[in-house]
Amino acid sequence: MGAQPQDPLTPRVVFDTGVVVSALLFRAGRLDWLRASWREGRVIPLVSRATANELLRVLAYPGFRLSDAEREELLAEFLPFAEVVNAPAGRRKLPRCRDPKDRIFLELAVAARADALVTGDADLLAIAPAFAIPILTPAAWRERA
């Protein structure tokens, strides 16, 4: 972890857990293009301790039936390309989100001065007008990027 942007114009983006998991698990899915995007350095994914822990937790869901080795392989397709940001919890005034668990993504976006937060989560998308950083669907990000 800890990739540094080689070009200062490379967008630095928070991808919520659902987006990352979809991009990693469903290779022929609608978000498959994202994996190539961060691998090729066209975007720098941002992670914090909290968002990385959330990703680990979700990948361990029994429904995914992933072995430890498979989870490690998936993480190796994401974390080495990510920039790690210190995003302390509860220190910022943020728009109120219907799901308090989503706050970690808002905190990360603000702490990192992200160019965008990309999500399919309706609770995050609902506060987009009240948040200083663009909150976009994956499709809207693709059009923009």
Measured on CA atoms in the order 102, 104, 106, 108, is the torsion positive or negative? Answer: negative
pLDDT of residue 111: 94
pLDDT of 1 higher than 80: no
Beta-bridged to residue 136, according to DSSP, are 118
Q: pLDDT tens digit string along 84-129?
A: 999 887 767 788 888 889 999 999 999 999 999 999 999 999 999 9
At residue 66, the 3 state secondary structure works out as: coil
Predicted confidence at residue 91, as pLDDT, reads 67
Phi, psi of 78 (to 5 degrees): -125, -55
Distance CA 78, CA 31 (A): 14
Instruction: Please check whether the domain covering 12-144 is classified as CATH 2.40.160.20.
Output: no
Work out the mean pLDDT of the chain and round it to a whole number.
91
For the entire predicted model, the pTM comes to 0.91
- Residue-range domain boundaries for the chain: 12-144
